[in-house]
Amino acid sequence: MPLEVRWTARASDEVTRIVEYLDSRDPSWGDVVAAAISEKLEFISGTPYLSSIFETSTRGDIREVLAASYRIFFSIDGQRQRIWIESIRHVHQQDPDFSE
């Protein structure tokens, strides 16, 4: 059974900015990236442990997967059967800070 996908406020803001930026440059590219991210989220909801561990934080492992040119960072809440999307960054952007 797939895990429920939830978004942190940070990740939600980031994906909104990404799509708005891409739409302003080329609306079709925004759709392509949004679809790639959506497909990857569907995949990881069923197989979250196939992704690599980016770092271990006080809340547990932060994992990452690639969708188009974006890295999706997420954590797994096995007890509640949820995946939390923590951050989304372009591959050329600085790594996010999960020390909070």
- Residue 85 maps to which CATH number? 3.30.2310.20
Has residue 15 been placed in a domain? yes
User: Per-10-residue mean pLDDT for the chain, 100 residues long?
Assistant: 93 93 88 92 94 87 95 93 96 87
Has residue 97 been placed in a domain? no
The predicted pLDDT at position 51 comes to 93
Has residue 96 been placed in a domain? no
CA pair distance 59, 93, nearest whole angstrom: 23
Has residue 99 been placed in a domain? no
The tokens for 67 are: 């969708």
Q: What is the DSSP letter of 93?
A: S
Q: What is the pTM of this model?
A: 0.92
Has residue 21 been placed in a domain? yes
- Residue whose structure tokens are 């895990």: 3
In order of 27, 28, 33, 61, the CA distances from 43 in angstroms are 25, 23, 15, 18
Number of folded domains in the chain? 1
* Domain housing 17: 4-90
